[in-house]
Every structure is written in C-alpha cells, then in structure tokens.
Amino acid sequence: MIDLHCHILPGIDDGAPTVEVSIKMAQKAVSEGIHTIVATPHHQNGTYINEKSDILQRVEELNERLIQEHIPLTILPGQETRIYGEMVQDYQNGKILTLNATNKYVFVEFPSSQVPRFTERLLYDIQAEGLTPIIVHPERNSRLIEDPDILYNLVNKGAMTQVTASSLTGRFGKKIKKFSMDLIHANLTHVIASDAHNILRRSFHMQEANDLISTEYGMDILYLFQENAAAIVNGHACLKDSPEKIQKKKFLGIF
C-alpha cells in the first residue's frame, strides 16, 4: 500500500519530533501493509516553511536510516503546501515540491475554516503550469462542509481531492465522517491517505479505512483509490468518475 500524505520527516513540522519517532511511525506503517510513504511536511501554513531542496535532502537521510534499521519502507519526497498567492511563482522558482518530484501532482491545503476567494483562479493557474492540484482533507474544512458545491465546482474544473483515513474511521467526529462518506459517494474524492503525524493520536488507520471502504462501497472503489495513489507517485493519469453534487438533506420539522 502507498500512503501519499504523512508527516514522518523528523523535526521539521508538527509531525515526528525526532528520528526515533520517525522509525516508530515507519514500523507502524509497515505493520499496516504500507510499503511506500510520501513525506509531506507543512509548507507556508503560517508556522512552517519547508522548501523543496531541504525536503529532498531529509528524505534521503531518512531512507538511509530505514535501510540501517532493516525496515522495508521507502520514503518519497512531497510537500503539503498551504494555498497562497505566490504558489505558482514559487513553483517556478523551485521552492514547491510536487508529489515524488514528478512535476505532475501538487498538494494544496486550505485554511481549516475557509476557502480563499482566489482559490478557483489559483487552481486554474496551477493547472496551466501542467500540474494537477490535489486538495488535501476537504472533509475537515468547515466552509466546504457548509457548502459542498464549492468543492464540486473545483473538482469539476479539474482539481482532485484526498480524504484522510482517520476522518473515515471517525477520529474527527461524526459530522466529518459523514461528509467523508458523502464525498466518496459523489465522486468528489480520488485517493485516501493517512496524514499521520505520530503513532498515538494521529496515526495511520489506513487498514481500518480500507476495510470500511470495501464494506461500504465495494472493492472496485478501494482498488480505484489504490491505483490512483500509484498513478500519482508515478506521475501518470488518474481514473476519475464524474463528480456529482451532494444532496443536502432537508430537515422537515418534527419538533
């Protein structure tokens, strides 16, 4: 299994604080059947700056350590970039790292409770650069929960999305779990990843999420998500079903 979103690199964001914790995360990942992790440290989120060249070097160092420890896990380079106005210029200037450095897919994170006004334009500009933006954990954005048509519009215009495994398993509460499942139903997400930060409160839960997906939606959807994860690290095209709008339930008064 491939995990596309993980804060496993030590000491550079709110993920693993030390390489010892990175090793523990690696062991946990392997125990869940994960063989490849894309390391995606936060970038430009107001607290952390992690530019391409630095991430590439740190990924190499962690891979060397994993070989020494005989852990059968490969780390690939990536970045979780908070949406900001100069993102395209910074990509051109070599500061933004695409997933596995293929110059095909780039993670885009929204602030947790809003979708900036310039989002549609920026996602367009990113695509004009030849990149596919992947919106990370849309299910945890309160603006999108309130108005899912915003996400429908962005997906309809070519953006992809990644839902977090532990959102599906209920780690963030019932509302986020329900919205995650609605996103799968409406073809508004294309891949599942862990966004693991540690092995305690923010662990992988990939196996548990996969069990839930195969039970609720069937193996076809599970395979689709796994094939998309492989396509993304290889820089190939993903399979996408046409997005649909999420029907908001109308509450009829029973008071």
Q: Which residues bind Fe ion (CB under 5 A)?
A: 80, 195
Q: Encoding tokens for residue 223?
A: 């395979």
What are the backbone angles phi and psi of residue 134, rounded to the nearest 5°? -115, 110
| Shortest separation between residue 200's beta carbon and Fe ion, angstroms | 16
Place of tokens 């395979």: 223
Nearer Cβ to Fe ion (139/195): 195
Give CA angle at 159 (76, 78), nearest 5°. Answer: 15
Q: Which residue's C-beta sits nearest to Fe ion?
A: 195
| Shortest separation between residue 98's beta carbon and Fe ion, angstroms | 16
Nearer Cβ to Fe ion (42/104): 42
Instruction: Classify burial at 253, counting beta carbons within 10 Å of its beta carbon; exposed 0-12, middle 13-18, buried 19 or more.
Output: exposed
| Shortest separation between residue 197's beta carbon and Fe ion, angstroms | 7
Determine the 3-state secondary structure of 45 from DSSP.
coil
| Shortest separation between residue 158's beta carbon and Fe ion, angstroms | 22
Please answer whether residues 57 and 23 qualify as being in contact, where contact means their C-beta atoms are separated by less than 8 angstroms: no
Nearer Cβ to Fe ion (2/246): 2
Nearer Cβ to Fe ion (32/243): 32
| Shortest separation between residue 62's beta carbon and Fe ion, angstroms | 17
Diameter over CA atoms, the chain: 64
Nearer Cβ to Fe ion (4/238): 4
